Structure 1
Amino acid sequence: MADINPEDMPVGDIDETTPVEMRSLRKRWFGILALVVVAAALVWAIWFFLTQMGRVSTDNAYVGAETAQVTPLIAAPVAEVRVANTQPVKRGDVLVVLDPADARIEVAQAQSALAQAEQKYRQSRATVGAAQGRVAARGSEIEQARARLRDAEATLNRARIELGRREALISSGAVSGDELTAARTAFQSAQAARDLARAGVASAEATQNAATGELQASAALVEGTTIGTAPEVLAARARLAQAKLNLERTVIRAPIDGIVTNRQIQVGQRVAAGTPIMTLVPIAAAYVDANFKEDQLAKVRPGQPVLLTSDFYGGDVEFHGRVVGFAGGTGAAFALIPAQNATGNWIKVVQRLPVRIALDPKELKEHPLRVGLSMTATVDTRGR
């Protein structure tokens, strides 16, 4: 191949770019690059302002709810269990039916005790009337005894006068000794009759006092009361009401709307009062406890909006809530064995404070959550 002489090449094929033009081109490209960097920084600043500025976030958040623990209020064998775990129930639905045989016997006994109490009250009322009659009868006896006393005193006065006359005539011989003796005997008999009449009056008065005491005692039992307000009747009615309530409690109903969880009861099992038999979880009233670091809470206030996502549904489903309040202490403060940092090699550990977040009921209805699920919570501290 023949060698090519540069002088023989066309003039237009030789790069004639000057150093000045090269510098100008570089400046132009650096300017474009600077504009791109500034634009990117501006876009990032706008994104940060719109999505991150004034917001604090944590993935240490979990779903909670005020669960209802179902416990029987009476002891009885289990006759029916009408629900199973994971089953949704409404408030008032029958969960468990206990054997009502013992409760029905208690109702019958209480009804009998009430009837006896009412009968006893009526007897007390009748006793008051009878006691009043006895008091009136004793009054008549006293009047009769006093009349006999007056008659005995009159007889005694006559006997005294007759004895005085005969004693006055004994010296003149006009009265015999037998007549004087008879007069003295009549006088002594009249004295004895008077004393006996006095004793009869005292006895009648004592009998009347006893009857009056009985009347007062009987009247005290029913004074100011009716058959509906008598203490014994009220107590018997209370026992009957308690027995009926225990009979109603043989049917255990759901106290709230929720999901049946942790069922621990079987047919035929005898349960004691207060023994937990199942738990109801109100998923429609779930909330979130978000554990924020202590240095994130300076601007967090109740009422601020919160954006939440759940690992259960993924990032495509967002929940909206509001800050309700703060816990009274960190989790470490209420631990079974609180941390004690009074040591020489103490290392500061950032603490977390639970923040209660209320969720939107409509969103919960569309996407139900379960207690214990993980959540990511972002609080907008600029909101009110």
Structure 2
Amino acid sequence: MSDTTHQTPDSVAVPAAPKRRWARTALWIGGPIVVLVIGGWLYVTSGRYASTDNAYLQGDHVTIAPQVGGRVVEVDVRENGVVHKGDVLFRIDSEPLQIAYARMQAQVESVKSLLDAARSGYASAQADVRSSSADLVYKEQQFARMKELRGRGLIAQQSLDDAANNLAGARAKKDANTAAVAKAQNMLGGLPSTPDEKLAGYRLALAQLAQARLDLDHATVVAPMDGTIGKTTLQPGDFLAVGQAAMPLVANTLWIDANFKETDLTHVAVGQPATIEVDTFPGKTWKARVASISPASGAEFSLLPAQNATGNWVKIVQRIPVRLVIEEPEREGMILRAGMSTSVDIDTGRQNSLLGRWQGGAEPVTRVAQAP
């Protein structure tokens, strides 16, 4: 029997050595090829993607607070309820505000009546000035005659004194009428033909009326934007002061703040595409793009920034906030919420091969801190 065969219990010859030699040959040839392929792929793609799991969904949120104080009479939303811009959130007792508005309406009418009376008084005062001027001329002439007659001894001194007293009274009356004209002019802005809307007193009354109207409108508090109501315990009967927090409102518009290590931002620039994965929906990805890059690290915005110019110094890789905009936030019924944890991968387009650089994989020319 030869070296390359062996006998089975059924006495059938099976070749063995050639198969083992073929497997070893394939391993020696294929193994290096696989290593080279994997190494080449890693070389080409290394540095192209900037990734981090230090990223969270963010959204605009406002604290709803009344602009007028009063007792709450109606609450139209509940916690975690979805609202749209202009929807009524709650109402404050408007009766005191309606009374104030009616009072200011009456005030405007009162000012208008006073201005009309001033115009009438101006015309009457002018007539009185003309009358008193004519009377003054007559009294001056009479006094002159009496003075001449007294000089000739034809009348008693009492008659001259009476004429002088009448002259003084006529002058005082003319001065009073002239002052009345000036007063009416001041109330009418210098001219009786000045429209009410250009007079300070009337404009003040109109402004107070507008404020009363605005306060009355503010008794109904509406949503300033689309969003979802956060935690609230507001109930009818509660009293709210001006500016007192009533409930939070989180907007539907979301973005991502990703905190990348400073060493990962070498090739990151505004406008680059990215993909995100939310921990709540594993295996699902969303498309995004880089909207802006913070001008400073997160530590620079802290209440107590690090003081590295001290004797005890340890170098720590800093993180730079990068904002990303989600291109399609709603998909397949999956709802994204502010505060969720995410993982971000930014495609910088950088490749280590010459072919990749010729195809547009070179570093971006323009690098800015924030989007224009």
Name the TM-score class by shorter chain. Answer: 0.7 to 0.9
* Higher Rg: 1
Among 306, 312, 318, which residue is 2:274 paired with? 306
For residues 111-150 of structure 1, the C-alpha deviation after alignment (integer angstroms, 9 at most, x for no partner) is 2222221122222222212211211110121122133235
Among 312, 315, 330, which residue is 1:348 paired with? 315
* Change in 2 beyond 3 A, CA 1:226/1:371: same
Q: Equivalent residue for 2:355?
A: none
What is the distance in 1 between the residues matched to 2:64 and 2:228?
12
What is the distance in 1 between the residues matched to 2:196 and 2:4?
128
Q: Quote how far apart the aligned CAs of 1:373 are.
A: 0.3
For residues 166-216 of structure 1, the C-alpha deviation after alignment (integer angstroms, 9 at most, x for no partner) is xxxxxxxxxxxxxxxxxxxxx162676456535533442332123212211
Q: Equivalent residue for 2:343?
A: 376
Is contact 2:82–2:229 with CA below 8 Å preserved after alignment?
yes
Is contact 2:286–2:328 with CA below 8 Å preserved after alignment?
no
What is the distance in 2 between the residues matched to 1:104 and 1:199?
59
Query: One-letter code of the match for 1:304?
Result: Q
Q: Equivalent residue for 2:107?
A: 113
Taking structure 1 as the reference length, the TM-score comes to 0.79
Is contact 1:127–1:218 with CA below 8 Å preserved after alignment?
yes
What is the distance in 1 between the residues matched to 2:222 and 2:106?
29
Q: Quote how far apart the aligned CAs of 1:329 are.
A: 2.8
What is the distance in 2 between the residues matched to 1:43 and 1:348?
34
Does the alignment pair 1:219 with 2:185?
A: yes
Query: One-letter code of the match for 1:219?
Result: Q
What is the distance in 1 between the residues matched to 2:141 and 2:331?
98
* Backbone CA RMSD of aligned residues: 2.9
Does the alignment pair 1:41 with 2:29?
A: no
What is the distance in 1 between the residues matched to 2:239 and 2:77?
18
Is contact 1:69–1:278 with CA below 8 Å preserved after alignment?
yes
Identity %: 29
What is the distance in 2 between the residues matched to 1:364 and 1:14?
68
* Change in 2 beyond 3 A, CA 1:308/1:188: same
1:177-188 aligned at under 5 Å gives the runs 187=153
Query: One-letter code of the match for 2:237?
Result: G
Does the alignment pair 1:319 with 2:286?
A: yes
For residues 270-328 of structure 1, the C-alpha deviation after alignment (integer angstroms, 9 at most, x for no partner) is 01111111111123x1000000001111221111111111011112x211111111224
Is contact 1:121–1:230 with CA below 8 Å preserved after alignment?
no
What is the distance in 2 between the residues matched to 1:266 and 1:286?
29
What is the distance in 2 between the residues matched to 1:33 and 1:299?
39
Does the alignment pair 1:13 with 2:19?
A: no
Is contact 1:294–1:351 with CA below 8 Å preserved after alignment?
yes
Q: Equivalent residue for 2:239?
A: 270
Q: Equivalent residue for 1:177?
A: none
Is contact 2:75–2:236 with CA below 8 Å preserved after alignment?
yes
1:124-135 aligned at under 5 Å gives the runs 124-135=118-129
For residues 233-290 of structure 1, the C-alpha deviation after alignment (integer angstroms, 9 at most, x for no partner) is 221121111111111111111110001112241211101111111111123x100000
What is the distance in 2 between the residues matched to 1:115 and 1:58?
68
What is the distance in 2 between the residues matched to 1:277 and 1:191?
88
For this pair of structures, how many residues does the alignment match? Answer: 336
For residues 46-105 of structure 1, the C-alpha deviation after alignment (integer angstroms, 9 at most, x for no partner) is 37646x541110000000011122111111111111111111111111111111121111
Does the alignment pair 1:148 with 2:131?
A: no
Among 265, 284, 297, which residue is 2:265 paired with? 297
What is the distance in 1 between the residues matched to 2:173 and 2:331?
85
Does the alignment pair 1:247 with 2:216?
A: yes
What is the distance in 2 between the residues matched to 1:308 and 1:279?
27
For residues 10-48 of structure 1, the C-alpha deviation after alignment (integer angstroms, 9 at most, x for no partner) is xx52459xxxxx9xx969944752344224432553376
Among 163, 177, 201, which residue is 1:197 paired with? 163
* Change in 2 beyond 3 A, CA 1:219/1:290: same
Is contact 1:263–1:277 with CA below 8 Å preserved after alignment?
yes
Is contact 1:74–1:249 with CA below 8 Å preserved after alignment?
yes
1:275-294 aligned at under 5 Å gives the runs 275-283=244-252, 285-294=253-262
- Whichever structure has more helix as a proportion of its residues is 1
What is the distance in 2 between the residues matched to 1:364 and 1:202?
96
Does the alignment pair 1:56 with 2:50?
A: yes
Is contact 1:66–1:282 with CA below 8 Å preserved after alignment?
yes
Is contact 2:330–2:336 with CA below 8 Å preserved after alignment?
no
